[in-house]
Structure 1
Amino acid sequence: MPNLLAMSFEGILAPSFELRCLDPGRRPPDGWGVGFYPGEEPSTTVIKEYAPPAASLRRELVKAWQHLASSVVVVHIRKAQWGPLTDANTQPFVRSYAGRDWLFAHAGSLQIAPDVSGAVFEAVGQTDTERVFCLLMNRVAEKGWRRIADFDAEVVLGWLRELDGYGVLNIVWTDGLDLLAYADSQGGDGPDDGGLYLWRRFPPYNGKAFGDDDLVVDLFKRGISSHRGLVVCSAPLKQEGGGENWEAMRPGELIIARDGSVRKRVGGDRGPSTVRTRGKAGPPGQAEPRRYLVRHSTSYRYETPVERSVHLLRLTPATDRLQRLVKHELQVSVEGRSRDYDDVFGNRCRRLLFETPWSELKLHSESIVDVVDTDPLQYRPLRARARFPLVWMPWQHQMLNPYLLTPEMPESQLHSLTDYAMSFVRRNDSDLLETLLDINQTIFQEYEYKQGATTVHTSAYDVFENRRGVCQDFTNLFIALARLLGLPARYVCGYIFTGPKRPAPSAPPLISTSTPAAARNATGAASEPSVNTNTLQSEASHAWVQLYLPELGWIGFDPTNGVVTQTDHVRVAVGRNYLDATPTSGTIYVGGGGETLKVDVKVELIE
């Protein structure tokens, strides 16, 4: 039986707890309790029961009560060693401080109860746990800390090391925002005197509950979105069908988690860990200007000749203050009429009309581009409107409106994505830049790059739910999250330099008769060892997002590679979505049939 279980998830979680230890014929525990923060309010609700009967009504509440919905949940099942069986001695305990309710629960038993010093918090019951809780809260008040986020982790670790000298001390402690867990430095001999275990959970979950003969936790019975989470437990529980991945906390280790991510980790003998500590992602350093030769070849082949067709090409790299097109040439294998123009997004377009039959169309574009986006964030924090929520002037809102409209999808899915987006805002204390860097890194680290797993019709919610896709999918997800946060976002199509494949000549011919090499092999890895870390891209072109930041303008974020775009990225087209920026598109009016499409891209650095 797990004595203690706590969960921290991104967004609101609505779990179902089945207390099988209260089944008829079973020996019930001495008490149990579930604490949570309904609707992420600062106040907590605690459902608890001492000496519970088998036909417990409260037991049914924690299985299906609609108000049991929170991003932080603490569960305790008591085996009494201190004090009588009363409500006052049943965990988890709660105290109000600094405008929030704080929850505390303890697995293990102390040999000596510590003296509670301080005039602010006093114990109501007789347990060692409540005395420890009040002692810690008094020390927090003396320090003037108002949130767990304010804690000096090393100082708190010293307090807990001092206290676990009295006996076994495995605790969880939360203010509803952050979850602190501490594993006893020595452990004990009793069944509940071990340490604590961590399980970092990632969607998709496939509807599998986890638990043991006494407690079953179902995250799906009452409906769940694809939230990442961290589970802390005094005993590793089994998941239906297997697949659980528990990691024992090291003796004397303290962690602080928020929204399912471990933010701080101190104490213990910290070696390799399966639970990654997420620090704040910093802005990029300064890059060097670069000149590239870009070759882009596309071939269409049809079983039946095409007699009349129209094609739209966006293959000319952009020119602005951060990127300069030195030279561009385009070869088209089929004779026809053409017209160049700039679309409403400022993209250079070429429209082709073919009225003579053809079975194969080859397009070959070559460009020389200078990229000088060396310091996109200008080595300084954002000065104006650097925190959420952002407020735009009416004329700004009017100009940016196309990039603020979220993609159409069911309202329930929009709510889930909004909760997901807001989890990043909360854990970064509403800081604009840190939130965006966190989203960028999270998609890079936690979503699987898998070709063929999605289509052009895959929605941002589908990507969020299944946690896999390619660059277009990760870009669409980032765009949806940014727009839900009131931040203008646009889709960018272009190219990415993944490292030298072979030296490019200093003055290459723009149109070559050689066949361009593919930038990636069939496995999705770079075909040659790369000197850069951003090696993920599609075989055709690459996609990323640009966000409009106050006083900085459009800044590129590449969630596929977890970077802020600099001189590795060559922009070609932008728009509200993929359809506005796709490199090639067209309509066949007469003829056609089975289509074979081949695309080759090569980006070379010109020294």
Structure 2
Amino acid sequence: MRYRVRHLTEYLYGAPVTLCYNMAHLLPRDTRNQRCLSRRILVNPTPVYQTEGQDYYGNPTFYFSVQEPHKRLAIDVECYFEIEQNDLSSQLTLHGLTCGELRQLLAQASTPELRMVKEYTLDSTHIHRAEALAEYARACFADDTPVLQASMDFTHKIFAEFAFDPAATSVSTPPEQVLKEKRGVCQDFAHLAIACIRSLGFPARYMSGYLETLPPPGQEKLVGADASHAWFAIFIPDLGWVEFDPTNDLMPNEQHIVTAWGRDYADVTPLQGVIFDGGDSQALNVSVDVQRV
């Protein structure tokens, strides 16, 4: 399957910004079943300096600096992807590594790969382990349950027990509050899942990208109506990082496009930086369009 993704980010400031430095996580990355065919990024006003790089997690980064007064900043990214079907969901009943066996492997950490993934069992900016979080997931991750099946069961548990509510949370809402109120958005559900899994001692990471949405039968797809999306992945030896989407109760496949991953949202913020001046107010507009080609 091939896709064209356009992500337009626009900031409107109450007063001119005289200088800004920014880093963006908006460029695509290649994965085992995803390949970027082409990409371009346009910034308005034109930066005096710009360069591409990679962060600690291997995510593509784009740095730029605008040094002329401006009340509007626009970052327009267009990418073309090719995604192959992921057949990991067919292994749910075939891969038998249990949660107890994974705990033992992590405790021994006898390979460099296992030692490296233990970083994803620790606290991070938005995610802190807690007994209440471990308790919420413990029944799913019993020692004799295969890890793949446990992860799918836990994904379904979040999907069934939580309501999608964009007004209920903010970027900084902690997972324990999400657990208490049972409401949130995809970022909250990903953070909650990761926090619970880490609280049980397993490695889990945050996945950021896009999700193709399809219009109701007989209706046209609206330009810009798609959205950035978040889900999680758990590390399973022999399989690597296996992804799950609790917002939609499934294992991501052709309709999920990955841009970045890290410990939590703070590692993959789409745009972050420093501005000088700009007044007391600013407005953010984001438009995302995912189109099959």
TM-score (norm. length: structure 2): 0.89
Structure ranking higher in helix proportion: 2
Residue aligning to 1:167: none
In the alignment, is the contact (CA less than 8 A) between 1:296 and 1:516 conserved in 2? no
Question: 2:231, 2:244 within 8 Å by CA — same for their partners in 1?
Answer: yes
1:297–1:516: 8 Å Cα contact kept in structure 2? no
Compared with structure 1, are the counterparts of its residues 433 and 476 closer, same or farther at alpha carbon in structure 2 (3 Å cutoff)? same
Match of 1:352 in 2: 64
Change (3 A) 1:408 1:292: closer
Structure having the higher Rg: 1
Q: What is the number of equivalent residue pairs in this alignment?
A: 284
Does 1:309 pair with 2:20? Answer: yes
Residue aligned with 2:99, SS: coil
Question: Residue in 2 aligned with 1:498?
Answer: 213
CA distance in 1, matches of 2:196, 2:266: 19
What is the deviation of 1:423? 2.0
2:130 corresponds in structure 1 to 414
Counterpart of 1:517 in structure 2 is: 224
3-state SS of the aligned residue for 1:325? Answer: strand
1:429: Cα distance to partner? 4.5
2:52 counterpart (323, 336, 340): 340
TM alignment of 1:393-404, pairs within 5 A: 393-394=109-110, 395-404=112-121
Alignment match, 2:9: 298
Q: 1:409 to 1:371 in 2, by over 3 A?
A: closer
**How far did 1:315 drift?**
1.2
From 170, 173, 195, give the equivalent of 1:458. 173
**Residues 420, 451 of structure 1: alpha-carbon distance in 2 compared, 3 angstrom cutoff:** same
Q: Residue in 2 aligned with 1:602?
A: 289
TM-score (norm 1): 0.44
Q: Does 1:578 align with 2:265?
A: yes
CA distance in 2, matches of 1:589, 1:435: 48
Once the two structures are superposed, the pairs formed by residues 185-200 of structure 1 within 5 Å of their partners are none
Identity across aligned pairs (percent)? Answer: 33
- Pairwise mapping of residues 544-555 of structure 1 onto structure 2 (< 5 A)? 544-555=231-242
Q: What is the one-letter code of the residue matched to 1:387?
A: C
Residues 416-565 of structure 1: pairs in structure 2 closer than 5 A: 416-426=132-142, 429-499=144-214, 502=220, 516-519=223-226, 539=227, 541-565=228-252
Contact 1:324/1:369 (CA < 8 Å) preserved in 2? yes
Q: Kindly state the Cα deviation for residue 407 of structure 1 after the two structures are TM-superposed.
A: 4.7
Indicate how the Cα distance of structure 1 residues 341 and 322 shifts in structure 2: closer, same or farther if over 3 A, else same: same
Deviation track 1:205-256 (CA, whole Å, cap 9, x = no partner) reads xxxxxxxxxxxxxxxxxxxxxxxxxxxxxxxxxxxxxxxxxxxxxxxxxxxx
* 2:127–2:264 Cα contact (<8 Å) kept: no
Structure 2: which 5+ runs fail to align? none
- Look up the equivalent residue of 1:489 and give its one-letter code: A
**Pair 567,409 (structure 1): closer, same or farther in 2 beyond 3 Å:** closer
CA distance in 1 between counterparts of 2:115 and 2:36 reads: 30
Between the two structures, name the one with larger relative contact order (CA 8 Å, sep ≥ 6): 2
More strand by share: 2
Counterpart CA distance in 1 for 2:267 and 2:127 is 23
Instruction: Determine if contact 2:8/2:288 at 8 Å carries over to the other structure.
Output: yes
Residue deviations 1:500-527, cap 9 Å, x none? 5748xxxxxxxxxxx94223xxxxxxxx
CA shift, 1:380, in A, is 6.2
Give the C-alpha shift of residue 409 in structure 1: 9.3
Instruction: Return the offset for 1:578.
Output: 0.1
Q: 2:17, 2:275 within 8 Å by CA — same for their partners in 1?
A: yes
Mark the CA change 1:438 to 1:380 in structure 2 (over 3 Å): closer, same or farther: closer
CA-to-partner distance for each residue in 1:339-389, whole Å, 9 max, x for gaps? 100111111110111121111011111111111142124546454633335
RMSD over equivalenced CA pairs, Å: 2.3
Contact 2:207 2:262 in 1 (8 A): yes
